[in-house]
Amino acid sequence: MVNSRIAAVDVGNDSVKAIFGKLETEMSIPNVIARDIEDRPVIGIEELDSKNPLDGLHIRVHSPALKENNAIYRVGSLATKSDNASELDPGSSKSEEDQTLIMLFAALALDAVEAEKTEKFKKSGNTIDASYMLGTGLPLREVKEGKDAGYRSKLLGSVHQVEFLITPKYQGLKVNIKFEEVKVYPEGFAAFINLVMDNDLNIINKDLIDKRILIQDIGGLSTDIAVIKDRNVDDDKAQGFNLGVSEALEAIREEIRSKHGVELDSRRDVVEIITKKNDRNHIMVKGSRTSVHDITDRILLDLAKKQYRLLRNIWQKNSQTEICYFVGGGSTVLKDYLKALNNSLDGYNIDFFEDEKESIWMMSNAYYKLISDYKRRVDKDSAAQNKKPVEAN
């Protein structure tokens, strides 16, 4: 059997969150790319290898799954500094965007070069051959449209290569990525799994397991509302909407630029301004601490009202619902506004994760639980097959 490594990857609009191996590696990369040239200019190139690869991710990606094959990109933090930086657009389908695959391959390649050091993968010359058993997901809307099958088939059966160009520590290395298996889960179902089960899929939240619950997952580009009944997602009632926080973040970014003359590199910078512990909703303007509370409050409250309207409509159609959990990076941004609206309006039984990391990493944690369980079952079946006695002719 192929020596495949577990990978659980959530390609979120704000960032990629990935977990590898036996929980020994976690990785977060801003979901930003920028087309680039092979010989990007670097100041102090002799110091390149002393820097963090995540801060200088410069790669060429070759894959038959890509519309634009063999192109060169800055990825993550490095891309945010580019004039031509690209983030996923509202209304786009995650399963059909090259950017989704580029971010996925970049994360896997970064893990592979580290895993090779501990002899988990083979290296021949400058090329590492890596095999993964991948757990990932797509918005509920795309799964209901059947796009998960096409996304899975893009990944399976092909070799996808990432070549590190002017990247700290890894310059000149190539990684050939193959998938032994790819599991694509609906994001709402994954959130439910994470709520009620541990890493071995043992039930840890017995109070929730048989309740009728909603899970409203607010992402960058979309919102999924999963309807959970009898321990399963009700496929007919679960819904996905093209409403996320990205447009609101872009509106805040643009208004800050026009009102204060301050250019923010990416949506992630906006998120940091509205969620940081100290000096929340403040920026520096010509060296002076300046409030942007009027901008963020108006735009985010408007979005929260739209999200609350979705909740109300789904709850009315599922009147015996007992609780709704808000999850995802978008819920972290909108939490205070949604709580205030709920207190002044319908007073539904809603809950949030006070641990922001738990909410943001919920999908990747769930994919990890599901793909690990699948691998355990595959390994168990393989072991059982090997123990069968050979019959005499």
In angstroms, how far is CA 351 from the centroid of its own chain? 22
Q: What is the pLDDT of residues 272-323, one digit of tens each?
A: 888 887 888 888 888 888 888 899 999 999 999 999 999 999 999 998 999 9
Q: What is the pLDDT of residues 354-377, one digit of tens each?
A: 666 777 788 898 899 989 988 888
Cα distance between residue 350 and residue 339, in whole Å: 8
Q: What is the pLDDT of residue 393?
A: 44
Q: Which of 15-19, 105-109, 195-199, 377-381 has the lowest mean pLDDT?
A: 195-199
Q: Using the predicted structure, report yes or no on whether residue 217 has a pLDDT greater than 70.
A: yes
Q: What is the pLDDT of residue 173?
A: 95
Average pLDDT of the residues in 10-17: 88
- Roughly how many angstroms between the first and final C-alpha of the chain, as a whole number? 26
Average pLDDT of the residues in 191-200: 76
Q: What is the pLDDT of residues 68-116, one digit of tens each?
A: 999 999 999 899 888 787 877 766 788 999 999 999 999 999 999 998 8
Q: What is the pLDDT of residues 321-338, one digit of tens each?
A: 999 989 888 888 899 999
Average pLDDT of the residues in 257-276: 85
Per DSSP, the residues of 195-219 read: HHB-TT--B--HHHHTS-EEEEEE-
Q: Which residues are 351's β-sheet partners?
A: 325
Find tokens 């020596």 and name the residue: 3
| pLDDT band with cut points at 50, 70 and 90 for residue 1 | very low
Cα distance between residue 16 and residue 107, in whole Å: 8
Q: What is the pLDDT of residue 41?
A: 66
Give how far Cα 179 sits from Cα of 7, 130, 154, Å: 10, 8, 11
- Asked if 165 contacts 59 with a C-beta cutoff of 8 angstroms, the reply is yes
Query: Percent of the chain beyond pLDDT 70?
Result: 94
The DSSP secondary-structure symbol of 18 reads E
> Which option is the CATH number for 5-186: 3.30.420.40, 3.30.450.270, 3.40.50.1820, 3.40.50.800?
3.30.420.40
Q: Using the predicted structure, report yes or no on whether residue 165 has a pLDDT greater than 80.
A: yes
Q: Which of 29-33, 119-123, 198-202 has the lowest mean pLDDT?
A: 198-202
Beta carbons within 8 Å of 226's beta carbon, 6+ residues apart: 140, 186, 187, 188, 189, 191, 192, 214, 215, 217, 233, 238
Q: Using the predicted structure, report yes or no on whether residue 207 has a pLDDT greater than 90.
A: no
Give how far Cα 352 sits from Cα of 127, 217, 300, 334, 361, Å: 45, 11, 17, 10, 14
Across the chain, mean pLDDT equals: 86
| pLDDT band with cut points at 50, 70 and 90 for residue 120 | confident
Q: CA-based Rg of the chain, rounded to a whole angstrom?
A: 22
Q: What is the pLDDT of residue 119?
A: 76
The predicted model scores a pTM of 0.84
Whose CA is closest to 55, among 65, 63, 47?
A: 47
Beta carbons within 8 Å of 348's beta carbon, 6+ residues apart: 311, 315, 324, 342
What are the helix (H) ranges across 178-292? Answer: 187-196, 206-209, 246-260, 267-275
356 or 349, which is more confident?
Answer: 349
